[in-house]
Amino acid sequence: MGDNKPFDNRPLYGRLDLNFALKSAGLGVWELDPVTNVILWDDRCQQLFGLSNDNQLPLEQAIQHIHPEDLTRVTQAIEWAYNPASGGAYDVTYRTLGADDGLLRWVRFWGQSYFTPEGELYRFSGVAQEVTQQVMDQQRIEASETKLRGLIAAAPIAIGLLVGRDLVIENPNQPYIEIVGKGPHIEGLALRQVMPEMLEYGQPFVQILDDIFTTGTPFIAQATPAKIVQDGVLTEKYYNIYYSPIFNESGEVYAISTMGVEVSEEVKAQQQLQEAETVLRGAIEVADMGTWTLNMETGLTTYSNRLRELFEFTQDYIEQERLYNPILESDRARLVDAVAKASNPESGGLLDEEYTVITQQTGRHRIVRAQAKMFFDPQGRPTKLVGSMRDVTEQRQTQLALEQLVKEQTEELAAANEELAANNEELESNNEEYAAINEELEESNRLLARSNENLQKFAYVASHDLQEPLSKIQQFGDLLKSSQALLSGDDISYIDRMQSASRRMATLIRDLLDYSRLSTQQAIDTLVPLNGVITQVLSTLELVTAETQAEIIIDPLPIVEGNEIQLIQLFQNLLGNALKFRRPSVTPVIHINAQQLNGSELPATIKPVRSAQSYHRIDVVDNGVGFDEKYLDRIFQVFQRLYGKNEFAGTGIGLAICEKVVTNHGGAITASSQPGQGATFSIYLPA
């Protein structure tokens, strides 16, 4: 080229013997004279630039038909091909704007530049091809892949690929990364390396994945438990899992698409629902209730065995036309109206009615109470009425008897009041104020006498009529156990359980007796040294104190005005509880201290029974199991327990006794605690 290699002006096709092959492949040929910068090309190349009759064209004119966004890249590629350092390679894909037809085309021009040994360019030629369809297809594929990746990344469920039998993790989205729990840099690593726990604890997942490579069969599992180390902590959660094989062109599985979503909360909710249903069924059985369902579409009513027995039905359902037959005729219209009202969504769908039924076999009249809830479809149409039913015949008969008794007593009282009014009329006219005071005093005395009489009767029953049969049960149990050779293991177990129950009953009666005695008038006017009270209590609790190796710290305590016996009950219950509700393997430590407060310094929640200028605050502090303060309003009530009797023995009366003693002394009692951190019981007594 130039002086050394004159440009060959022979027709281009004359120098090529592959003309037919090039045309068949849709290829055009071109050559650029590096001296004149004139392009010589065939008809196919002309078409790529939208030209109709220019086989030769200056480069400056040709590049005017290149898309402006691609022009710089093309010219840089040509300049680089002119540089011997490039090795002469030239391959660039770009867009052209048709000179004559105005069409946009994607074209690929590639070829080779040739240099003399001195590095002088003497030839630059190659082939060209329209690649519009290929580029558009590739763009669609890339757009589709981008969209797919975006969908995967934004998906709320875990999605990722496991490639090859090594299960190499590819394209994991954020939920997938979070479930794996090993940080964000897991892509490109083998599953066995990232999650070795999948091979432990008898988990089947790796084997399932390996089987999919063999069988090509997808795997689906619902609410499957999986143990995964997440952020360094071994967790056990529930997941819905879907493994889908991905096949290559040969029909072989080369990867597995994995999808998963955690459903632990749903599983726990289902378990809790099942437990609640079990408890509800048990409660229904204990309450002697029956259940029923009225299908509003079919008119059939189904019911439980309890209702079948109550109504003396012989079949498991009743048809709509016979639904109201067992109901007393005078009650039918009211019940029909109640069902119609419950069928209106605006009513709330509730039904609560009492009515009389006539049993099918014996014709007995029974009073029942039905409570139900109507369910509606999305259009507001009633679908089913579900409810419970209970036989309240005995209660209603008792209620009627009580109402009659109250009526009679009211009439008697009215007559007595009339007589009393007549007798007192003269006295009231002489001294109304004195009479009113006397009447109030007499009424108070009557109420007090009645209260004391009732308490004395209760004390007698508790101490004699109830204790005596329990004692006989104990003695009879001992007598039976003495014949041990004639008893089976179950018999002995039953006897032990019987005796244990009787002992608990005796303890309960004794505690109730103590509690009832606190309601009778007792002198609260003796000066009592509390240190002496604690000494007596510790003597009583000496055995359990030694057994538990408890450390008891007693600060100087005040002398208070009160009843020594009641105060001993108070602190014996508090110290006994502190020893009983101790933490396993932790030595009990109990600290009793006191301080004096002005009345204005009392906490807002403390309301002593008697107002005083100052109060003694005595704290009993332990390091036991403690309790949640949300139960504070319950612990001082009779029979309230925060722990089961299998955990800690007791009757649930001790703290009620404590509150009663403090109330009798004009004070107040409260507590503060946290579970597992011990408890502090604070007593406020007038100073």
| Segment 226-277, tens digit of pLDDT | 999 999 999 999 999 999 999 988 899 999 999 999 999 999 988 887 776 6
Residue type, 221: A
pLDDT at 4 over 50: no
Q: What is the mean pLDDT of residues 310-325?
A: 82
Domain shared by 680 and 554, yes or no: yes
Q: Is residue 149 part of a domain?
A: no
7: pLDDT confidence band, cut at 50, 70 and 90?
very low
Domain shared by 246 and 334, yes or no: no
2: pLDDT confidence band, cut at 50, 70 and 90?
very low
* Average pLDDT over all residues of the chain: 84
Q: Is residue 612 part of a domain?
A: yes
Q: What is the mean pLDDT of residues 375-379?
A: 91
Q: Which residues of 304-318 are buried (b: 16+ CB within 10 A; e: fewer)?
A: bebbbebbbbeeeeb
pLDDT at 191: 95
User: Could you tell me which residue, 10 or 219, shows the higher pLDDT?
Assistant: 219
Q: What is the mean pLDDT of residues 130-148?
A: 79
Lowest-confidence range among 6-10, 48-52, 114-118, 435-439?
6-10
pLDDT at 325: 87
The pTM (predicted TM-score) of the whole model is 0.34
Domain that holds residue 317: 289-391
Laid out side by side, the sheet with 614-622 consists of: 551-554, 589-598, 614-622, 679-686, 668-673
Q: Is residue 69 part of a domain?
A: yes
Q: Is residue 420 part of a domain?
A: no
Quick: pLDDT tens for 270-312.
Answer: 888 777 666 656 555 555 678 899 999 998 999 888 888 888 8
Domain shared by 612 and 632, yes or no: yes
Cα 505 to Cα 272, 288, 658: the distances in Å are 34, 26, 21
Q: Environment class of residue 587 by beta-carbon count within 10 Å: exposed (0-12), middle (13-18) or buried (19+)?
A: exposed
Q: Of 488, 514, 540, at which residue does a domain stop?
A: 514
Q: What is the mean pLDDT of residues 362-385?
A: 92
With beta carbons less than 8 A apart as the criterion, state whether 594 and 555 touch: yes
Domain shared by 681 and 586, yes or no: yes
Domain shared by 132 and 41, yes or no: yes
With beta carbons less than 8 A apart as the criterion, state whether 665 and 562 touch: yes
Domain shared by 458 and 317, yes or no: no
pLDDT at 16 over 70: no
**What's the CATH code of the domain at 101?**
3.30.450.20
Structure tokens at 63: 């590049």
- The single-letter DSSP state of residue 165 is T
pLDDT at 57 over 80: yes
With beta carbons less than 8 A apart as the criterion, state whether 651 and 507 touch: yes
User: Could you tell me which residue, 202 or 524, shows the higher pLDDT?
Assistant: 202
Domain shared by 572 and 661, yes or no: yes
Q: Is residue 274 part of a domain?
A: no
Q: What is the mean pLDDT of residues 90-119?
A: 93
Give the integer Cα–Cα distance in Å for 420 and 410.
Answer: 15
Lowest-confidence range among 284-298, 390-404, 590-604?
284-298
Q: Of 137, 170, 205, at which residue does a domain stop?
A: 137
Torsion over CA: 540, 542, 548, 552 (sign): positive
Cα 22 to Cα 114, 123, 129: the distances in Å are 22, 20, 10
Domain shared by 639 and 569, yes or no: yes
Quick: pLDDT tens for 516-527.
Answer: 556 555 667 789
Quick: pLDDT tens for 153-184.
Answer: 667 899 999 999 999 999 999 999 999 999 99
First to last CA, the chain: 124
Within 13 A of 207's CA, how many CA atoms are on the CB side? 5
Proportion of the chain in helix, strand, coil states, percent, rounded to 5: 45, 25, 30
Total domain count, the chain: 5
User: Could you tell me which residue, 489 or 507, shows the higher pLDDT?
Assistant: 489
Lowest-confidence range among 121-135, 157-171, 308-322, 380-394?
308-322
Q: What is the mean pLDDT of residues 83-112?
A: 93
Q: What is the mean pLDDT of residues 84-111?
A: 92
Domain shared by 128 and 180, yes or no: no
Please, what is the Cα angle at 617 between 611 and 620, to 5 degrees?
A: 140
pLDDT at 218 over 60: yes
pLDDT at 24 over 80: no
222: pLDDT confidence band, cut at 50, 70 and 90?
very high
Q: Is residue 406 part of a domain?
A: no
Give the integer Cα–Cα distance in Å for 560 and 549.
Answer: 30
Which residues are within 8 A (CB) of 560 and not within 5 positions of it... i.e. 6 or more apart?
A: 527, 528, 530, 567, 616, 665, 685, 686, 687
Q: What is the mean pLDDT of residues 487-492?
A: 71
Q: Of 497, 514, 531, at which residue does a domain stop?
A: 514
- The single-letter DSSP state of residue 249 is T
**What's the CATH code of the domain at 603?**
3.30.565.10
pLDDT at 316 over 70: yes
Give the integer Cα–Cα distance in Å for 275 and 259.
Answer: 30
Domain shared by 551 and 677, yes or no: yes
Q: Is residue 450 part of a domain?
A: yes
Which residues are within 8 A (CB) of 681 and not within 5 positions of it... i.e. 6 or more apart?
A: 574, 619, 620, 658, 669, 670, 671
Integer-rounded Cα Rg, in Å, for the chain is 48
Q: Is residue 281 part of a domain?
A: no
Could you tell me what percent of the chain has a pLDDT over 90?
A: 51
Domain shared by 109 and 16, yes or no: yes
pLDDT at 10 over 60: no
Q: Which residues of 40-77 are buried (b: 16+ CB within 10 A; e: fewer)?
A: bbbebbbbbbbbeebeebebeebbebbeeebeeebeeb
Structure tokens at 90: 């030239």
β 679-686/614-622 pair status: antiparallel
With beta carbons less than 8 A apart as the criterion, state whether 621 and 591 touch: yes
Which range is most confident: 488-502, 611-625, 635-649?
611-625
pLDDT at 394: 87
With beta carbons less than 8 A apart as the criterion, state whether 122 and 6 touch: no
Domain shared by 641 and 567, yes or no: yes
Give the integer Cα–Cα distance in Å for 219 and 212.
Answer: 8
